[in-house]
Homo-oligomer: A and B are copies of this chain.
Amino acid sequence: MRLPHSHPLDLEHGRIDLSHGAGGRAMAQLIEDLFARELGNEFLAQGDDGARLPACTGPLVMATDAHVVSPLFFPGGDIGCLSVHGTINDVAVMGAQPLYLAASFVLEEGLPLAGLARIVASMAAAARAAGVPVVTGDTKVVERGKADGVFITTTGVGVRLAGIDVSGANARPGDAVLVSGPLGDHGMAIMSVRENLAFDAPIVSDTAALHGLIADLLAAAPDVRVLRDPTRGGLAATLNEIAHQSGVGIVLDEAAIPVRPAVAAACELLGLDPLDIASEGRLIAICPAAGAERALAALRAHPLGTEAVRIGEVIADERRFVQMKTRFGGRRMVDWLAGDALPRIC
């Protein structure tokens, strides 16, 4: 709605103040002049407390993610597109077609409107590219020093693909473990900015929406048993979760695990293990060994999976250990990250 007597937001020099979260005219104007303008679609345009959506045919999937990444802008992306990709991926790895996103913003007083506008534009571009609209939202403002610029929670709803049954609990001994591309780019893109690491070629986040890649994979290999995106905690945490949920062991082949040289170098410099580092546009797929080549071919045929490889296998192991055959012929445990935090990667 166009409000009477309202002045346009100063998107160049203006800043968020507490009135932008107070439910009055300033908030209505922020929604109209920034959020609705950028993200605009038929659902947001309803202007009510929520969105009226069509009926869905099929079982629903729902996923939510708070995004608190720091810095807000990083090589390859920003909190805006990341918040769209992250939740689309959480819905897609459930074997579902993502349909709608909701977005809630916690803004810190003093946040430059220019930065917020850049973030919202990035969200809008990511949502358009993915074909998944932001249908409803909410904005709150907290006092200076009570938040860190902007936090964004996105929640996704999707509908499960017929004939697909993927779950972290479905891995079976003998299955193959596949990954869609090099690991850790996102986490090390963030860390290299924070730590002021300079490389000849900067490490760029892999942030991407994986639902297209997953749809192609499942069309070619509907017998895929597990899909996950190795975000916080990286491959190590993701595979340990799967091992625990499925009651199996997993053995990785170190030589097969793809890590870009710059990521490996940055990890060595910072004393980090690439297996612990978050990706935001990579897919882990576990499938019956007999179908692994078909699944790999489907991944490689998609622009986001050209570097897909097989990195290990599922074994029977009551202890539910994730282990790695090292390049030197030994074996080591791949444990969860215990206390060492890589905070605010996503």
Q: What residues of B have a CB within 8 angstroms of the CB of A245 in the complex?
A: 1, 47-48
Complex partner residue of A61 from B27, B52, B58, B106, CB under 8 angstroms: B52
Chain A interface secondary structure, helix, strand, loop or mixed? mixed
Q: What residues of B have a CB within 8 angstroms of the CB of A156 in the complex?
A: 50
**Is the pair A151, B106 in contact by a Cβ cutoff of 8 Å?**
yes
Chain B residue at minimal CB-CB distance from A238:
B23
Q: What residues of B have a CB within 8 angstroms of the CB of A322 in the complex?
A: none
A142/B56 contact (C-beta < 8 A), A19-B341, A343-B18 known: no
**Is the pair A102, B63 in contact by a Cβ cutoff of 8 Å?**
yes
A102/B244 contact (C-beta < 8 A), A157-B157, A343-B143 known: no
Complex partner residue of A344 from B91, B136, B142, B234, CB under 8 angstroms: B142
**Is the pair B24, A50 in contact by a Cβ cutoff of 8 Å?**
no
Chain B residue at minimal CB-CB distance from A49:
B90
Interface size on A, residues (CB 8 A): 95
With contacts A47-B245, A50-B62, A56-B56 known, what are 13 further pairs, Cβ within 8 A? Answer: A19-B338, A22-B232, A23-B231, A25-B336, A28-B241, A52-B167, A53-B62, A56-B60, A62-B155, A64-B104, A64-B136, A65-B104, A68-B140
Query: What are 14 A-B pairs with beta-carbon distances under 8 A?
Result: A21-B343, A28-B241, A47-B245, A50-B64, A50-B91, A51-B61, A60-B100, A64-B136, A66-B138, A68-B142, A104-B155, A138-B153, A142-B343, A146-B147
Q: Which residues of A contact B (CB under 8 A)?
A: 1, 3-4, 17-19, 21-28, 46-68, 70, 90-91, 93-94, 96, 100, 102-106, 135-143, 145-148, 151, 153, 155-157, 160, 167-169, 228-229, 231-234, 237, 241, 244-245, 276, 278, 319-320, 336-344, 346
